[in-house]
Chain A
């Protein structure tokens, strides 16, 4: 056996033993994929529930009651208050007792078009847009049904996340219809999007945190001098240090995938080997960042503070929690230098989409380049420690 390999095995054994003794670290590594992923999956939900709606009915007629019924039937709008004057409803909105209220004018159902006023608390722009959208659809439905139809027929309800249960109004006869087909996720399961994103985040962040802690520890305890005196090359040392972390991260990644599949019913439609290779490169990139941070810091404390500083931007720019298309131009451009972005794309491409190789290889290539460059820089910096 060549000496280099023997040395590598010896060093790796040392690292594995050190790792095995560090129970806290092991727990920290193995818990997140299961618990955090589950919490994330359930907590990150843009679906809007139980909007609190107030009603100011100035008409007080059968028509107005029919109108209120048509708005609230089958929907997660909860009418929490009827107000006599608009002023009272405004106060309720101001003290956060309501999310929105509508004012029904006295001339509803008298032949001409009545203007129903809708006031929405728009601080949360997303919820406000959803509220607006729903009310628009409900009004349309009311108009098209000639005021007679109470509410949205149940068969047209779609348990979509955007509008609580959005229904599409039937167009009058003869008008072209647009029929949306939701491909890749016909059941519109919200969690899939977040679970795939968070899976990549957890793996990447853990890799960088652990690698930096590992790399700086020897420096802190002073045992690095001993290591440097051995015949081992710095490259071998770095490899030996990072390979247990790498193996652990791959375990974490697959644990996350299994949790995703079992708990959230995540499909795997594409090639699993692509997922594995991409995961490997992402773990390397994460380790590279961690080691790089470790080489510039003097203590574990500094190293962890720095990773704490580096990781959130990587997470936020990766498109894992919010679609990249929605970001301002400058952040979209910045996201190209975020290795996690490519990982997230590949994970989604493999699990949800079965994307063809021609669409995935640029991402894989970018990820590979990132991981090689980051790893090379960290090896070079590590030598100078």
Chain B
């Protein structure tokens, strides 16, 4: 008879010990779900289409997790995921062909300046995880000024790319305009750099940079997140929808956003399992790269934000100002209308 209370005590102690790491994790950084334990559901069973920005990669892990683990199903949603290459996501979302899309703050800002009613619902990755990289042995980069005089392989947005490069050079006291621009589209930059076609490339470190590491290529990187006092931070990628969806189907928007949040939170807390889910859903992409990239990105999705997906006015305004200062936009956008945190799960203190 005395055994039973002892066992109960032991089991309780074991449970407490097992949950302690989880509790500690939530305690040391803000709850990525904003403290929510219940999540929005669509009023009626709804079929929605999510259109990605490119082929599936670890920027999209949360979506595939939410689908595989039934978060969308619990939110009363049937989600179809489309992957484009020849389409502008902002346009597809605005026309209503897809209800949700994966966009970027740059393109969303251009679309808004163009009068397209886009609304950003969440910052999928809190800070800019892109950077300018070069082969370490050919062109070592310790600071932005080291990029001066190099040949840069761009992807076809010279106004923005040159603006960012020149701003970095000027911040570091170097002469702007010394970087030669070569348009290489979306070709894999590493083999081209290894064959000395150009020296510098701009990439998402979490995917292309991690892949280079896996291949044993040594890269030096100037990460934009290290120079936020120079080039303002901007959210890339973001979850977008149309103004029309926000006004006419807010329940669906809330349901989708919160289920997606749960998916990305799972990716933050269980990167290996999330990587496995992504690889199973998309077997064509290299599973080794997916796993390594998922581990790299896990701490980046939320980073230091009060919850996953939280966006701030300063970031939207700062980047709009940057585009205007560099002559890319004639005038700034109405940043208040550009984004909302209202559909994210839970609550956070007013920033």
The yes or no verdict on A and B being binding partners is no
